[in-house]
Amino acid sequence: MEKTQIIKKNKNSFAISISFLVFVVLLTSSLFFYNNKLTNEHESLKKEIQTKVESLQLDSESEAIKIYSLIEINKKYLEKFRENSKITKFLSHMDYIEQTYNLDFRWFSLNNSIIWTSATLNSDEYTEIDFKLAYQKFVSFVSEYRKDENALFELAFINRISWQDEMKFNLNFLIK
């Protein structure tokens, strides 16, 4: 009796082992074929991408696309140059500064978004004795202009002031 039970158990174990082996072989072969399919799809996509890249390179060689790409790359600089080339607007603003703060600009130079100029306080309003009044007017100009929300320029550090018959000083304006 024990022998028949052992044979039955062995037959059951053998059938389970064979079934498991068949399952593993089927699973392995299906994974192998799925991997081949994915590899082929990957290769075809790679080839398609390569042809698209080559097509884009040929298209980018045309003059219009080159010019457009250069404009897009340098858009920020071109916009800044456009703003800095509004000379008449700057001259009008310099006239406004002269009239508002009673200054007299002797000359100016515009280079790299900086305006250099030499200014004097109008001499018909001040005499040599009125140095304190001229100094107060100068200080008023500096503080008020730096606070002015509508100013087109930023007033840089003033490094030269002189007084002989009139108060003279050099100004540097940075274009905002």
pLDDT digits 0-9 by tens, 96-131: 998 888 888 888 888 888 888 988 876 555 555 577
E strands, 5-51, where? none
pLDDT digits 0-9 by tens, 51-96: 888 777 766 567 777 788 888 888 888 887 777 677 888 888 889 9
Q: What is the pTM of this model?
A: 0.49
Contact 155, 146 (CB under 8 A): yes
Contact 154, 176 (CB under 8 A): yes
